[in-house]
Amino acid sequence: MAESTITAKGQTTVPAEIRALVNAEPGTRLVWSEMPDGTIIVRAKTKSVLELAGLLKAPKGRRVAIEDMNPWRR
């Protein structure tokens, strides 16, 4: 398990093994989320939503209407 310490200024260093796992470079943004049970999840924001555009293709002949994607909003 990787470990780091928080400084008096509230700063910490992300351990090298963790940076390598998420391909983090200087300037990589981290997203901190608190879960209902008190667990903290830290995610590296390494990709933009724009980079995901066109990643998935709809199977031929199988399209879903937006209304069908949100059935609870009818």
Query: H/E/C letters for each residue in the chain?
Result: CCCCCCCCCCCCCCCHHHHHHCCCCCCCEEEEEECCCCCEEEEEECCCHHHHCCCCCCCCCCCCCHHHHCHHHC
The answer on pLDDT for 14 being more than 80 is yes
pTM of the model: 0.55
Confidence label for 65 from pLDDT (cuts 50, 70 and 90): confident
Whole-angstrom distance, CA of residue 48 vs CA of residue 20: 19
Confidence label for 74 from pLDDT (cuts 50, 70 and 90): low
Q: What is the pLDDT of residue 1?
A: 85
- Residue 6, both tokens: 């928080």
Give the residue carrying structure tokens 């260093």: 13
For 22-63, what is each residue's pLDDT tens digit? 888 899 999 999 999 999 999 888 777 777 777 787 777 777
